[in-house]
Homo-oligomer: A and B are copies of this chain.
Amino acid sequence: MKEWEDKIRKVVPYVPGEQPNKKHMIKLNTNENPYPPAPKVKTVIKEMDDTKFRLYPDPTANALVKAIAEQYQLEENQVFVGVGSDDVLAMAFLTFFNSDKPILFPDITYSFYDVWADMLRIPYQTQPLDENFQICFMDYEKENGGVIFPNPNAPTGILVNLDFIEEILKQNQDVIVIVDEAYIDFGGISALPLLKKYENLLIVQTFSKSRSLAGIRIGYAMGNPALIQAMQDVKYSFNSYTMNLPSIQIGVAAVQDTSYFEKTREKIIATREWTKVKLKELGFSFADSMTNFIFVTHKSYAAKDIFEYLKTRDIYVRYFSSNPRIQNYLRISIGTDQEMDCLIAVLKEYLK
């Protein structure tokens, strides 16, 4: 090994999920929204002025911050925006998790939490979900350097209620508690009302799922002004200009169209409920998902075999091979009615 190689930061390289790109595939593996973004997004692109690209974008992305604040009836100083919720969460880890005590999160959860902790050398301790994949709030009452969990949890899809979250907040008033609400818009209730009561609460959401803008990279955090300011300070010390001009303009158009947002999420919820019925008929079992995916297992067929078979039929779902507790599960994103119909038909053939 050369001397210079010795000092390179060693990380277990995170490998992003498969992004197949076939013409007639059914892509149900990364929880993307099957519907296009709000119609005004198209107008924004058509009217975009390329001569403005030569200038730096607004480092505060104020137009977008303002639009989000208005949408959620917050002050502008309660909103932080970033390049997808991954950027927002990474900045939050960097800003808030500086204790020698371990941060706590579930053993089965969003797969990036331990990656960030490892990379940023933050001590952590995972808390096992119970046998029904439920988070046990008593596990979060021990001494810690911070708490983070998604609600609904991923990839289980299970939602907890606000009393549950408040219980965790009550027990953890000395650290920052992050609730990662990437999937909250598909039937959950946001922890937003708790912001008034708990100034150590940070809520993170994204435009990638319910706003159909995964390709534009917009995530945001909501919290008390002191938390948002601390994140801004770190962000400005990392990269002042993260949000490019198209993302700011497109984001504003998307967040302002409430009726389109309501319409598409209701469609996805309806499709999910239909899919649940059909999957149950086929012998699958699953927790009652409140997200745009369902996390399923089958009593007689191995998840890996189903996964491989679906691939041969150009249907892509997600299989997590690395965690032994969920090796017999598949995460299936909710697509259009037609796509789910097709999935069910193909599964029926395979399982018969």
Task: List A residues at the B interface (Cβ < 8 Å).
Answer: 2-5, 7-9, 11-16, 19, 27, 30, 32-37, 41-42, 45-46, 48, 50-59, 83-84, 86-87, 90, 94-99, 115-116, 118-119, 145-146, 173-176, 199-200, 208, 212-217, 226, 230, 232-234, 236-247, 250
Contacts and interface: CB of A to CB of B under 8 A. Distances in A.
Contacts of A41: 50, 53
B86 A83 contact: no
B55 A214 contact: yes
Contacts of A14: 233, 236-237, 240
Q: What is the count of identical protomers in the complex?
A: 2
Nearest to A94: B9
A49 to B, nearest CB: 9
B238 A216 contact: no
Nearest to A84: B241
A232 B15 CA distance: 10
Contacts of A35: 54
A35 to B, nearest CB: 7
A54 B83 contact: no
A45 B8 CA distance: 39
27 contacts: A2-B174, A4-B200, A7-B98, A7-B146, A7-B176, A8-B98, A9-B98, A16-B240, A37-B53, A37-B54, A41-B50, A41-B53, A42-B50, A53-B212, A53-B216, A55-B214, A56-B208, A84-B239, A86-B239, A86-B240, A87-B242, A216-B245, A217-B242, A217-B244, A244-B246, A244-B247, A246-B247
Nearest to A226: B5
Given A4-B175, A83-B241, A86-B240, 16 more contacts: A2-B200, A3-B174, A4-B173, A4-B200, A7-B98, A9-B95, A13-B236, A16-B240, A19-B59, A37-B53, A37-B54, A56-B208, A86-B239, A116-B238, A215-B244, A217-B241
Which of A5, A54, A146: most chain B CB closer than 10 A?
A54
Contact of A8 (B15, B42, B46, B230): B230
Contacts of A173: 3-4
Contacts of A241: 16, 83-84, 86, 214, 217
A205 B8 CA distance: 21
